[in-house]
Structure 1
Amino acid sequence: MMGRRKSEILKSFTLTLVAILVMFIILFPVYYIFTVSISPGSTLATTEFHLIPRNVSLDSYREVLFGFSGNKLSEDFTGTIEGSASIQDGKLYLTEGTIRGKVKYGPFTGMTFEIPVKNLVFDVSGNSNAQGGLKGEVRGLFVLTRMNPDGTIGFGLLRNVILTEGSLDGTAVSGPMEKYVVARNSGTVHFTYLGKFVNSKFFGYLKNSLILATLTVILTLIFVVPAAYAFSRMKFFGREHVLYFYLMFTQVSGGLGIAGLIALYGMVVKLGLYDKLPVLSFIYAAGSVPFNTWLLKGYIDSISPDFDEAALVDGAGYLQIIRHVLLPMALPGIATVAIFAFIGGWTEFILASLLLTQDNQPLSVWIYLLMGGIGRGIDWSYFAAAALLFALPVFVMFMLAQNYIKSGLTVGGLKE
């Protein structure tokens, strides 16, 4: 007896260790990305690894949520250029000079910068040769990926710079620039109080994600609940085969891949529905209808039809049965469908990047675009913090649904 008990204890202890090991393997990537998010200046491109971070900082979360001193900024700018230059054969050669610019948010200035430049070449109008001091106006895109504590630019770019107008010792000049201006540990940046707050893009993309996911859940439930009830309770021609065919068709059509995306894009543009969040939510909901209908139908099948018959005897219609009988008893199944619909609307980014412009794109596309900086100065702490904040609503949805399902809602039965 004693030996049997020891064997059971040893077996239980072994299974517990195995379960802990499996959970550690599953959750380790999440823990690692969390350590990256609280480690200042961390990078994934290193052989060093610390299970417990040496220096803990929440600056990355603050920067993602509430703005920061210039990191990861990409905004249009206008400004001036001054320096020593010469014109030869339609080319303007800037030997040495300075570009001063500012970024505006509406009518307000959010940031000013000054970048020393040299050896730049512009294509300019006219072929006259001249030499002297250059003064002009420029515009373009200012991209700042890293800023040093002293206010200098750690790494930044002036992209698509255009010399809109200017003069070189009385000679009028204008024209586009042939290459980017790179600023590395040079130049200065100054943010206004407004600029320090509004340069964070998180809440704008968060709003778009919430709209997409919420509308997707609502539309999915509107389509799925009546359909699942019909397939579970009603008898009609082809009932046993329609849902199987529907599921199979969606899986086969999904294999069309790029061709399907091109067709969908063409239809959306032709109908004038491009860049509209509700339209994308409708597409998400429509794509999830077969699987979620099948899922909810299986749950409704487990509910005794005696409840429906009792309600029909009392004079209830089908809509009343769904609202007052089915919905309260099928809440766990409906909650599961809502979770899948929310996750689908929250995490999808291929259609979102294809059918939405930048202003309407969700968090999933924004985080994907952050990866565009790999190999060019990406801040992994910032990316890790943004990724965890992106995953947080899905985690909260799971926790809320778990508590709701476990709160005692069960499918009962009629007493005979």
Structure 2
Amino acid sequence: MMGRRKGEVIKTFTLTLIAIFVMFIILFPVYYIFTVSITPGSTLATTEFHLIPRNVSLDSYREVLFGFSGSKLSENFTGTIEGSAHVQDGKLYLVDGTLKGKVKYGPFTGLTFEIPVKGLTFDVSTAQNAQGRLEGEVSGLFVLTRVNEDGSIGFAIVRDVKLKSGEVEGVKVSGQMEKYVVARNTGTVSFTNIGKFVNSKFFGYLKNSLIIATLTVLLALLFVVPAAYAFSRMKFFGRDHVLYFYLMFTQVAGGLGIAGLIALYGMVVKLGLYDKLPVLSFIYAAGSVPFNTWLLKGYIDSISPDFDEAALVDGASYLQIIRHVLLPMALPGIATVAIFAFIGGWTEFILASLLLTEPNQPLSVWIYLLLGGIGRGIDWSYFAAAALLFALPVFLMFMLAQNYIRSGLTVGGLKE
């Protein structure tokens, strides 16, 4: 008896070690990418590897979420201008001064900047001449394309500047600035947390991905659930062959590859639907309907039709049966369909890069473009952080779907 128990303990221990080893092999790439993301200046292809990384930092995640890495900012600002100036013949000449501005998003300040300026000219509405110190309030457009690591402005343009109210030695002045101001490796710019959030590339692309994936799930369920119910419960001519033909046809169409993409691109452009996020969701949902219909039909087949018959006797319509009988009992299958539809809409990037312009592209395209073609010269810590953040919603989708699956399984079935 003792020998048998000892053998079971050894067997259980051995199987547990094997399971742990297999899980380690499966999850090791994820752990490796995570170590790269928290190691500043890390490289992806190297012979040196530390299971416990040194010099751990979350700077890459902060840069992905709230960084300003070359994206263009073009916003209206308000601020002040001051410095030595003189007014002569309806012109205000700023010899040397400082322009300070503030960009607001609603009631919140997004960023502030300060730029040294000189040699500026304003057309002002006064005939008086004066010389001295200028102090005034201004507004205009601030265009920022690069910020240096030390917080100075890499490159920016300030244009359409209006001097709303100013004074030079008691002379009131107001007017429009001639030309524009170019700031290159000078001045300072500071983003608030609100400004970092609004101007982050990540959140802009994240919004596009969420719109595409959410619409894909809703459209897929809208078509798949009634179709699966019809194929499972209703009898009509060719029912046993239509779905299989549908599946085969979509596989053949998918095999056309680049020819299919060109045809799809041509149709979308001809219909005037290029660069429309909902159109991409319709395409994704349409592509997922055959397989998901077949998948959900198999699950509905396992639910006894006695429930449907009982609802029909009580006077329920087919839509009421789907809503009040099928949906609660088929939650595991529906959750699986939702997961597949979400992943398809979230991860696809070929059609997204073909049918959308850069402002409307999703995260999948942005992350691919981070590689820069062959991936050389890239900040791998930044890329790894972006990749893990991109995968996070898929993980959350699985976690949320598990709750639905668990609740669906507790509904119970018909007891014979």
The alignment's TM-score, normalised by the length of structure 1, stands at 0.72
Is 2:386 the counterpart of 1:386?
yes
Q: Deviations over 1:248-304 (max 9, x none)?
A: 111111111000000000000000000001110000000000010011001100100
Q: What amino acid is aligned across from residue 225 of structure 1 in structure 2?
A: V
Is 2:401 the counterpart of 1:396?
no
Q: Deviations over 1:306-360 (max 9, x none)?
A: 0011111111111111111111111111111111111110111000000001111
User: In 2, are the aligned partners of 1:64 and 1:385 still within 8 Å (CA)?
Assistant: yes
Residue 307 of structure 1: aligned partner? 307
Runs (5+) with no aligned partner, structure 1 = 78-103, 115-139, 157-185
Is 2:276 the counterpart of 1:279?
no
Distance between the aligned counterparts of 1:369 and 1:45, measured in 2?
19
Residue 412 of structure 2: aligned partner? 412
Q: Deviations over 1:157-199 (max 9, x none)?
A: xxxxxxxxxxxxxxxxxxxxxxxxxxxxx96784343676654
39-48 or 359-368: which moved more?
Answer: 39-48
Distance between the aligned counterparts of 1:59 and 1:374, measured in 2?
24
- 1:4-403 aligned at under 5 Å gives the runs 4-67=4-67, 70=68, 72-75=69-72, 148=149, 190-193=188-191, 198-372=198-372, 374=374, 376-403=376-403
Q: Deviations over 1:370-404 (max 9, x none)?
A: 01165553111111111111100100110111133
Aligned-residue offset at 1:410? 3.7
Q: Deviations over 1:29-66 (max 9, x none)?
A: 11111111111121113322111111111111111112
User: In 2, are the aligned partners of 1:113 and 1:187 still within 8 Å (CA)?
Assistant: no
Using a 3 Å threshold, how does the CA distance of structure 1 residues 200 and 413 change in structure 2: closer, same or farther? closer
Aligned-residue offset at 1:6? 1.9
Aligned-residue offset at 1:415? 5.2
Using a 3 Å threshold, how does the CA distance of structure 1 residues 374 and 219 change in structure 2: closer, same or farther? same
Q: What amino acid is aligned across from residue 386 of structure 1 in structure 2?
A: A
Aligned-residue offset at 1:206? 0.6
User: In 2, are the aligned partners of 1:110 and 1:196 still within 8 Å (CA)?
Assistant: no
User: In 1, are the aligned partners of 2:247 and 2:290 still within 8 Å (CA)?
Assistant: yes
Q: Deviations over 1:73-114 (max 9, x none)?
A: 14499xxxxxxxxxxxxxxxxxxxxxxxxxx99999988999
User: In 1, are the aligned partners of 2:332 and 2:405 still within 8 Å (CA)?
Assistant: yes
Distance between the aligned counterparts of 1:393 and 1:196, measured in 2?
21
Distance between the aligned counterparts of 1:305 and 1:235, measured in 2?
13
How many residues are paired up?
Answer: 330
User: In 2, are the aligned partners of 1:75 and 1:142 still within 8 Å (CA)?
Assistant: yes
Distance between the aligned counterparts of 1:275 and 1:42, measured in 2?
36
Distance between the aligned counterparts of 2:25 and 2:292, measured in 1?
30
Using a 3 Å threshold, how does the CA distance of structure 1 residues 66 and 5 change in structure 2: closer, same or farther? same
Q: What amino acid is aligned across from residue 252 of structure 1 in structure 2?
A: V
Distance between the aligned counterparts of 1:395 and 1:66, measured in 2?
22
8-17 or 348-357: which moved more?
Answer: 8-17
Distance between the aligned counterparts of 1:317 and 1:331, measured in 2?
20
Q: What amino acid is aligned across from residue 397 of structure 2 in structure 1?
A: M
The alignment's TM-score, normalised by the length of structure 2, stands at 0.72
RMSD across aligned positions (CA): 3.1
Q: What amino acid is aligned across from residue 352 of structure 2 in structure 1?
A: A
Using a 3 Å threshold, how does the CA distance of structure 1 residues 149 and 29 change in structure 2: closer, same or farther? farther
SS across alignment from 2:48: coil
User: In 1, are the aligned partners of 2:64 and 2:386 still within 8 Å (CA)?
Assistant: yes
Distance between the aligned counterparts of 2:354 and 2:153, measured in 1?
36
SS across alignment from 1:372: coil
Using a 3 Å threshold, how does the CA distance of structure 1 residues 152 and 282 change in structure 2: closer, same or farther? closer
Residue 96 of structure 2: aligned partner? none
Aligned-residue offset at 1:406? 2.1
Using a 3 Å threshold, how does the CA distance of structure 1 residues 33 and 113 change in structure 2: closer, same or farther? farther
User: In 2, are the aligned partners of 1:205 and 1:366 still within 8 Å (CA)?
Assistant: yes
Distance between the aligned counterparts of 1:346 and 1:201, measured in 2?
17
Q: What amino acid is aligned across from residue 224 of structure 1 in structure 2?
A: V
Distance between the aligned counterparts of 2:219 and 2:392, measured in 1?
23
Aligned-residue offset at 1:148? 4.9
Residue 179 of structure 1: aligned partner? none
Q: What amino acid is aligned across from residue 340 of structure 2 in structure 1?
A: F
Using a 3 Å threshold, how does the CA distance of structure 1 residues 150 and 371 change in structure 2: closer, same or farther? same
Aligned-residue offset at 1:2? 2.2
